[in-house]
A and B are shown apart, each in its own frame.
Chain A
């Protein structure tokens, strides 16, 4: 997609993505929920409609962009405001919904993998045990600006 953007004359690429990091301790459950769902989805097929299916980190995005001749020109990490509920929603879906455990049961993997996935769910549950679900905040967001570099840069 980056190569197509460059070919189309788009001069810069702006990215905002959850960073899989938590500057605020109340955002740790969001990171754990995202990692649990991402792990489960790595064993499922393209038919999934989950919100998180292939989480990537800032380092992975930057490396992929560099491979396309796209240089990181600037970045920030921001802490979302407490009223945002995306992290809470992700945690609720894992802890209160039925699909996470059901999908773990359905994947064609050995028990070691299933124990790992359910263990990640249990770690999420443990992370909210003391302060409750309502304290969950969104994890850090990575805000980046990429520009084309090298020969033929736009």
Chain B
């Protein structure tokens, strides 16, 4: 039997995002995290899973995946974009 999925509230995970803390789109950020948690439940990704994420961008989904797989799991992100893409949005 696989371990039960336990996800942190999106309102907590939002602090892990690269967006600025005073982002005017905070409601969107929280809603987007909840959306990604919904995907994880649909896919039934269990704690301890090893995930290769293709195209993580700024890591918004990576945060949710890491929370889902927990300390016994692993998330590796591979993105073709240059390392400084989106740097103007990072504090």
A7 at the interface (CB under 8 A from B): no
Residues of B within 8 A of A85 (CB): 25, 28
Q: How far is the CB of B8 from chain A (nearest CB, A)?
A: 18
A63 at the interface (CB under 8 A from B): no
Q: Is the interface of B mostly helix, strand, loop or mixed?
A: helix
Interface size on B, residues (CB 8 A): 16
A84 touching B28 by the CB < 8 A rule?
yes
A80 to B39, CA, bound (A): 11
A-B contact count (CB 8 A): 34
A85 to B27, CA, bound (A): 9
B7 at the interface (CB under 8 A from A): no
Residues of B within 8 A of A145 (CB): 43
B43 touching A14 by the CB < 8 A rule?
yes
B52 at the interface (CB under 8 A from A): yes
Q: Output the nearest chain A residue to B26 by Cβ-Cβ distance.
A: A83
A78-B27 in contact given A1-B54, A84-B32, A84-B35 (Cβ < 8 Å)? no
Q: Output the nearest chain A residue to B54 by Cβ-Cβ distance.
A: A1
Residues of A within 8 A of B39 (CB): 16, 141, 143
A143-B43 in contact given A1-B54, A10-B52 (Cβ < 8 Å)? yes
Contact mask A133-145 → B, CB, 8 Å, 1/0? 0000000010101
A131 at the interface (CB under 8 A from B): no
B54 touching A83 by the CB < 8 A rule?
no
Residues of A within 8 A of B42 (CB): 76, 78, 143
Q: Which 5 residue pairs across A and B have the least CB separation, nearest first?
A: A83-B31, A85-B28, A84-B31, A83-B27, A14-B43
